[in-house]
Amino acid sequence: MDALSCLSLLNRSSYDDCKKAADWLRNRTKQRPRVAIICGSGLGGLADLIDDKTIFPYEDIPGFPTSTVAGHAGQLVFGTLQGQACVCMQGRFHFYEGYSMQDVTYPVRIFFLLGVEILIVTNAAGGLNGSYKVGDIMVIKDHINLPGFSGQNPLVGKNDERFGVRFPCTSDAYDRNLRSLAIQTAHAEKCGSIVQEGVYCMVVGPTFETIAECNLLKKLGADAVGMSTVPEVVVARHCGLRVLGLSLITNKAVTDYDSNEKTNHEEVLATTCLRAQDLQRLVRHIVMKI
C-alpha cells in the first residue's frame, strides 16, 4: 500500500466518516443549528446557558475522538441560545494531546454537514501586546498559523471538493461583519473597555513559550498566543463557514529576562474562571444579534 492510501485510512475526517457522524446526530436530535460554538479551556460554561438541550458525550458519536485535558467536559450540546439554534462543543481537541490535525478539526466538518453557517471559536490566550491586560477579550482579526509553516496544516493531503477547494483563501478568515458585530455588542454591553482586536498566533505547545519565542512572536505581529483555534478555523473556512474568534487574555506572556513571572496552567484557569462570565455574556448577545 502506498503512503497516501495509508494516510487516508488513518484519516477519520473523510467525507463518508463525517457524513456518518452527521447523519447519526441528525437521527437523534430535531435541532438544526445555524451557529456552532467551540468552547476553549475553562469556557465550557457557555453550554450551560443553552436551553432545550440535547447532549451527546463525544465517546458516543461515531468517529469522535475523546477529550483528555483538565477543564474540558467532552460533549456536544445542541439547543437554543437566546432563541438561536446552536450546537456547542464543550471541550475541544488539541494537537498537543496527540490528536492529528484531522482529529482536531473533525467536528467542524460535521457542523458543516449539519448545515451550520457560522462558527464561533473561543480560547484562552497569552497576551503579547504590551497594552493588553489580563482579563481583556480579543476579537481575532487574523491569525498566524505557525504549525502550518512547518507542515502541520489540517488540509494537507488529498482534497475532497465536497468540502472545499484545493487552495482556499484565508485572507478573509475572520468575518468582518461578525467582528464589528462583536465590537459593537461589547460596547453596548458596557464591556467595550476590555475589548481588543488583534492577531492570534498558534503554537503547538504543550510548553508555554520561552522569552525569546515571545519576543519573536511579537516581532512577527502577534498580539496573543495560544495552542488551539487555527486548525478549526482553517477547516471551517475551507468549507465556507463564517468565523468569529474570541480570545480571553488569561496571562501576560513573559518577555523580560529580569521578570520572576512564570506562566502556568493554574493561573490560566483561575483567570478564565474570573472572566468567563464576561465572555459568555458577550457571546450570548452576539448570537442573539446574528
Within 172-201, the residues that bind ligand NAG by CB under 6 A are: 196
Work out whether 136 is an interface residue with ligand NAG (CB under 6 A).
no
Q: Which of 94, 143, 238, 285 is catalytic?
A: 94
- Nearest-angstrom CA–CA distance, 243 and 37: 10
Work out whether 24 is an interface residue with ligand NAG (CB under 6 A).
yes
Residue window 105-134: x/- pattern of binding to ligand NAG, with contact defined by CB under 6 A = ------------------------x-x---
Output the smallest distance, CB 24 to ligand NAG, in A: 4
Asked if residue 119 lies in contact with residue 243, where contact means CB atoms within 8 angstroms, the answer is: yes
Question: Is 209 one of the catalytic residues?
Answer: no
Q: Which of 36, 227, 253, 276 is catalytic?
A: 227
User: Which residue among 7, 11, 23, 134 contacts ligand NAG (CB under 6 A)?
Assistant: 23
Q: In this chain, which stretch among 23-31, 51-59, 170-178, 181-189 interacts with ligand NAG, using CB under 6 A?
A: 23-31
Q: Return the amino acid letter for 18.
A: C
User: Which residue among 97, 142, 223, 278 contacts ligand NAG (CB under 6 A)?
Assistant: 223
Question: Is 67 one of the catalytic residues?
Answer: no
Assess whether the previous peptide bond of 65 is cis (omega < 30° from 0): no
Work out whether 171 is an interface residue with ligand NAG (CB under 6 A).
no
Question: Is 41 one of the catalytic residues?
Answer: yes
Output the smallest distance, CB 189 to ligand NAG, in A: 19
By C-beta, is 2 or 16 nearer to ligand NAG?
16
Question: Is 72 one of the catalytic residues?
Answer: yes
Q: Which of 22, 106, 251, 276 is catalytic?
A: 251
Question: Is 124 one of the catalytic residues?
Answer: yes
Output the smallest distance, CB 100 to ligand NAG, in A: 23
Work out whether 20 is an interface residue with ligand NAG (CB under 6 A).
yes
For the chain, what is the HEC assignment? CCHHHHHHHHCCCCHHHHHHHHHHHHCCCCCCCCEEEEECCCCHHHHHHCEEEEEEEHHHCCCCCCCCCCCCCCEEEEEEECCEEEEEEECCCCHHHCCCHHHHHHHHHHHHHCCCCEEEEEEEEEECCCCCCCCCEEEEEEEEEHHHHCCCCCCCCCCCCCCCCCCCCCCCCCCHHHHHHHHHHHHHCCCHHHEEEEEEEECCCCCCCCHHHHHHHHHCCCCEEECCCHHHHHHHHHCCCEEEEEEEEEEECCCCCCCCCCCCHHHHHHHHHHHHHHHHHHHHHHHHHC
Question: Is 285 one of the catalytic residues?
Answer: no
Output the smallest distance, CB 223 to ligand NAG, in A: 6
- Nearest-angstrom CA–CA distance, 204 and 228: 8
Residue window 70-109: x/- pattern of binding to ligand NAG, with contact defined by CB under 6 A = ----------------------------------------
- Nearest-angstrom CA–CA distance, 190 and 255: 31
Work out whether 27 is an interface residue with ligand NAG (CB under 6 A).
yes
CA atoms within 13 A on the CB side of 202: 26
Question: Is 5 one of the catalytic residues?
Answer: no
Q: Which residues bind ligand NAG (CB under 6 A)?
A: 20, 23-24, 27, 129, 131, 196, 223
Residues forming the active site = 41, 72, 94, 96-97, 124, 227-228, 251, 265
